[in-house]
Chains A and B, each alone.
Chain A
Amino acid sequence: MEKQMEDEMGKQMEEKRKIGIFTTLLSVVIAFAIVLVLFYGLNHLIMGMQGLPLNMDLTPAG
Chain B
Amino acid sequence: MHGNLARMFTMSLLLTLLFLGITAPVQAADPGVGDIADRIAPVGRVQLTGQPPLEVESEAAAQEAEAAEPMAAPRPARSDYPDIGVSSRAIVWVLAQLHLFFGALVLAVPLFVLIIELVGLFTGDERYDDMAHEFMKISLTGFSITAIFGGSLALALFMLYPDFMAYMMRVFGAQWLVYAGLFFFESFFLYTYYYGWNAFRYGNLKWVHLSLGLMLNASGLTIMVLANSWATFMMAPSGVNEVGAVVGNIWEVMKGPLWNPINLHRFIANIAFGGAVVGAYAAFKFLSSSDPEKRAHYDWMGYTSNFIAILAFLPLPFAGYWLMAEIYAYSQQMGITAMGGILAWLFILQAVLIGTILLAGNFYLWAGMSRTDGSERYKWLVKFIALILVVTFLIWITPHTLMLSASEIAQLGGTHHSILGPLGIMPAKNIAVNLMLIVTFLSFQLYRRSDKVATVRWAPVGNALMVAIYVVAIANIIFLGVYYGYFTNTVYKVGSSVAQVASTLVVIISGIIIDALMFKNAKTLPSHWGRIPDRAQYALFALPIAFTWLMGLMGYVRSSVKTHWHVYTVMKDNSPDNFIPTIAYAGNMITLVTVLFLLCLLFMFWVANLSETRQVKPVAAGESA
Chain A positions within 8 Å of B, measured between CB atoms, are: 23-24, 27-28, 30-32, 34-36, 38-39, 42-43, 46-47, 50, 52, 58-60
CB distance from A1 to the nearest CB of B (A): 35
Given A60-B488, A60-B489, verify A35-B468 contact (CB < 8 Å).
Answer: yes
Q: Is the interface of A mostly helix, strand, loop or mixed?
A: helix
Q: Which residue of A lies closest to B500 (CB)?
A: A46
Tell me if A34 and B468 are in contact (CB < 8 A).
Answer: yes
Decide: A36 and B495 in contact? CB cutoff 8 A.
no
B499-A47 in contact (CB<8A):
yes
Question: A24 contacts B464, CB within 8 Å?
Answer: yes
The docked-state distance in angstroms from the alpha carbon of A52 to that of B476 is 17
* B502:A42 contact, CB within 8 angstroms: yes
> Residue of A at shortest CB range from B470?
A35
Q: Which of A30, A36, A42, A52 has the most CB of B within 10 A?
A: A52
**Also in contact, A42 and B503, with CB within 8 A (given A31-B467, A35-B472, A47-B496):** yes
Q: Residues of A contacting B409 with CB < 8 Å?
A: none
Q: Say whether B491 faces chain A, with CB atoms less than 8 Å apart.
A: yes
With the chains together, A31 CA to B488 CA distance in Å? 31
Per DSSP, chain B at the interface is helix
Task: State the CA gap A24–B469 with chains docked (Å).
Answer: 16
> Which residues of chain B have a CB within 8 Å of any CB of chain A?
460-461, 464-465, 467-469, 471-473, 476, 480, 483-484, 488-489, 491-492, 495-496, 498-499, 502-503, 506
**Residues in chain B near residue A24, CB distance under 8 A:** 460, 464
In the assembly, what is the distance between CA of A31 and CA of B460, in Å?
11
Which 9 pairs from chain A and chain B are nearest by CB?
A31-B468, A35-B468, A31-B464, A46-B499, A52-B495, A32-B468, A28-B464, A35-B472, A31-B465
Docked-complex contact A27 and B460, CB < 8 angstroms: yes
Q: Is the CB of B461 within 8 A of A43?
A: no
12 pairs across A/B with beta carbons < 8 Å? A24-B464, A28-B464, A32-B472, A39-B472, A39-B476, A39-B506, A46-B495, A46-B498, A50-B498, A52-B491, A52-B492, A60-B492
Q: Which residue of B lies closest to A44 (CB)?
A: B499
- Count: A-B pairs, CB below 8 Å: 60
The complex places the Cα of A30 from the Cα of B461 at a distance, in Å, of 9
Which residues of chain B have C-beta atoms less than 8 A from A47's C-beta? Answer: 492, 495-496, 498-499
CA of A28 to CA of B488 in the docked complex: distance in angstroms?
33
Nearest chain B CB to A20 CB, angstrom units: 9
Partner of A31, one of B461, B489, B495, B499: B461
| B499 CB contacts on chain A under 8 angstroms | 42-43, 46-47
Instruction: Indicate if the CB atoms of B480 and A43 lie closer than 8 Å.
Output: yes
Which residues of chain A have C-beta atoms less than 8 A from B489's C-beta? 60
* CB of B423 to closest CB in A, whole Å: 16
Alpha-carbon separation in the docked complex, A39 to B495 (Å):
16
* Nearest CB of B to A62, in Å: 11
C-alpha spacing A46/B499, complex, angstroms? 6
Minimal Cβ-Cβ distance residue in A for B498: A46
State whether B488 touches A35 (Cβ < 8 A).
Answer: no
**Do A36 and B506 contact each other (CB < 8 Å), given the known contacts A31-B461, A31-B467?**
no
Residues of B close to A38: CB separation below 8 A: 472, 506
How far is B471's CA from A36's CA once the two chains are assembled, in angstroms?
A: 10
CB–CB B461/A27 < 8 A: yes
Across the interface, which residues of A come within 8 angstroms of B465, CB to CB? 31, 34-35
How far, in whole Å, are A42 and B473 apart by their CA atoms in the complex?
11
Given known contacts A46-B499, A58-B483, is B473 in contact with A39 (CB within 8 Å)? yes
Q: Is the pair B503, A39 in contact by a Cβ cutoff of 8 Å?
A: yes
**Residues of chain A lying within 8 A (CB to CB) of residue B469:** 35
The residues of B that contact A31 with a CB separation of less than 8 Å are 461, 464-465, 467-468
In whole Å, how far is B435's beta carbon from the nearest beta carbon of chain A? 15
Tell me the complex Cα distance, A32–B467, Å.
Answer: 8
> In the docked arrangement, what's the CA distance between A43 and B495, Å?
10
Min Cβ gap B462→A in Å is 9
- Chain B's closest residue to A28 (CB) is B464
A51→B430 CA distance, assembly (Å): 21
Say whether B496 contacts A36, CB under 8 Å.
no
Contacts of A27 in B (CB 8 A): 460-461, 464
How far does the alpha carbon of A5 sit from the alpha carbon of B468 in the complex, in Å? 41
Query: Which B residue sits closest to A37, measured CB to CB?
Result: B472
Give A50 to B467 CA distance when docked, in angstroms. Answer: 29
Beyond known contacts A27-B460, A35-B472, A50-B495: 18 more, CB 8 A cutoff:
A24-B460, A27-B464, A31-B465, A34-B465, A35-B465, A35-B469, A38-B506, A39-B473, A39-B476, A39-B503, A39-B506, A42-B476, A42-B503, A42-B506, A46-B495, A46-B498, A46-B499, A60-B492
